[in-house]
Amino acid sequence: FNSIAPVNSQPSAFNVTAGANADTGTHNVVITQIAAAQRSLSDGSFASASANLNDGNAFILAISTHSGTPVKVTVPQGYTAPQDIVTAINSSSAGVKASLINTGLAGQPYKIVLTGTTGLQNDFTVTSTDLSDQPINIDGLTFSIPQNQSAKDADRKSTRLNSSHVK
């Protein structure tokens, strides 16, 4: 009987297999969009990396990945500065990484950047509550839509293999 052994000219880019009903021939793969991670920048800015937010009172950030169950990140009393918030998020299992950046702008140059995992299934939302789960608005600590970069999956429109061989 005959079987098809596919030949891939770009094995570092993707894998190719031939199923039982594969046809011989030349096929194209065209990538029209690479996968990306959501990246969100805090709406507000902060005067310093150590400026206390929420009057130094503890609060909770609820980070939900792809509308899943939120991971609650507790920011403890006295540790409410932007750098403390970044540390709390990065110490959690929320599925996002936080960074503190200095934009170089005068007055309030610091912002928090949250970056998710690559792919559309890893988009995320962030809400804040007090310790009794009541919604609160902490100046500058919102991550509203549109994000700087939305999560997205890679998109391929067609398939190309340089050649295939019939055995």
- Find all residues with CB under 8 Å of 159, minimum gap 6, and list them: 27, 28, 29
85: nearest Cα among 138, 136, 33, 26: 138
pLDDT at 105: 92
DSSP conformation letters of 62-119: EEEETT-PPEEEEE-TT--SHHHHHHHHHTSSSS-EEEEEE---SS--EEEEEE--SS
Task: Choose between 24 and 144: higher pLDDT.
Answer: 24
Distance CA 61, CA 136 (A): 10
pLDDT at 1: 52
Given a cut of 60, whether residue 165 has pLDDT beyond it is: no
Whether the CB-CB separation of 14 and 137 falls below 8 Å is answered with: no
Distance CA 76, CA 54 (A): 11
Among 28-37, 56-65, 124-133, the least confident range: 28-37
pLDDT at 164: 39
pLDDT at 158: 42
Given a cut of 50, whether residue 146 has pLDDT beyond it is: no
**pLDDT tens per residue across span 68-124:** 899 999 999 999 999 999 999 999 999 999 999 999 999 999 999 999 998 888 899
Distance CA 7, CA 140 (A): 54
**pLDDT tens per residue across span 38-59:** 888 888 889 999 998 888 999 9
Distance CA 167, CA 162 (A): 17
**pLDDT tens per residue across span 25-35:** 887 777 777 88
Among 16-30, 71-85, 135-149, the least confident range: 135-149
pLDDT, mean of residues 157-167: 40
Given a cut of 90, whether residue 11 has pLDDT beyond it is: no
Give the Cβ contact number of residue 13 at 10 Å: 9
Q: Is the pTM higher than 0.85?
A: no
